[in-house]
Amino acid sequence: MTRPVTVRQIRYFLAVAEERNFRRAAERLAITQPPLSRQIAELEAELGLQLLERNTHGVRLTSAGELAMRSFAELMHSFDATLEHVAQSANKLPRLRLGVLNWVHLNRLSAMERSLVESGHASGIDVQTTTTIAAASALRRNELDAAIVLWPASMYRLRGDLVDEVPLMAFVPATSDLARQRRIAVRDLQSLPPFFRFSRSVNTRMYDEFTREYTAHGFRPKAEAPAPDPLHVFAQIGAGRGCTCLPAPFALHRYAGVQPRPLRERIMVPLVVLTASRVTQELHNALVKGATRMLSG
């Protein structure tokens, strides 16, 4: 055979063989007779056999046609059953419950979701915003399957891999002298107390990591203030009180009286994929690969 026999040709042949009439077969297939006749002729040419004989009463199957009808009917039954099985198995796959920080870019989430579906790991992704501490707890309680967050204080019963790094930016009062600089040295934030940041009890690992970075660049806040949530912090800074450092995506939004400025130093915020220990290594690796592509796009 110079060209492979197609599923369409087989289905068209079976319609003619069962109807014993080209006109009725064409109506059943919702096509006209010329393309139906052409497909049958191409099938016979590929097989090198005559399968049908036309006569004044309709169509008669040759002996090869009788064999082809039985064999092709079994083949199509198996083919359709396989398609149904695959479709049903996909529907049985669970949807992946993914927690993300509210500032993480999800523009390419659909590509990550499609990859997981096509690889048979999930039937889809359900996203919910979370914090690092809440995500770690939810993973351990089987309320989430995975999360894109910061490194948690404890990795107990968790698995994690770095997937991206985001730069920190300074956020200062728009009326301050620092707001007029294109870039700010982190040590200059000492002139705008208090420095808003999350408390150490929230995440000792990240708190200590950022403290080491600040200290290495000569920044030792004169006074610190708790940062219960970004909106509270921006309200304080907008009123001319204090400053903070937050991941760069926060600068995509405007806050009254607040001026974001890049830091001269390279201080990065790590983003990691966390999964619970019950999640297979294969799924974890697929999530890491998908998240890396999503966040780097």
Measured in whole angstroms, how far is the alpha carbon of residue 210 from the centre of its chain?
29
pTM of the predicted structure, to 2 decimals: 0.69
pLDDT tens across 45-95, in order?
A: 998 889 999 887 788 999 998 998 999 999 988 988 888 777 766 557 789
Q: Where are the alpha helices (DSSP H) in the chain?
A: 7-19, 22-29, 33-47, 63-92, 109-118, 132-140, 204-216, 230-238, 281-296
Residue 261: pLDDT band with limits 50, 70, 90 = very high
Place of tokens 């004989």: 53
pLDDT tens across 140-186, in order?
A: 999 999 999 999 999 999 999 999 999 999 999 999 999 999 999 99
Residue 101 contacts residue 148 (beta carbons within 8 Å)? yes
Q: How far is CA 260 from CA 11, 56, 222, 235, 266, in A?
A: 64, 85, 21, 14, 16
- Section 202-206 average pLDDT: 93
Q: What whole-number distance in Å separates Cα of residue 21 and Cα of residue 28?
A: 11
Domains along the sequence of the chain with CATH: 7-91 (1.10.10.10), 95-163+270-296 (3.40.190.10), 167-267 (3.40.190.10)
Q: What is the pLDDT of residue 57?
A: 76
- Section 243-269 average pLDDT: 96
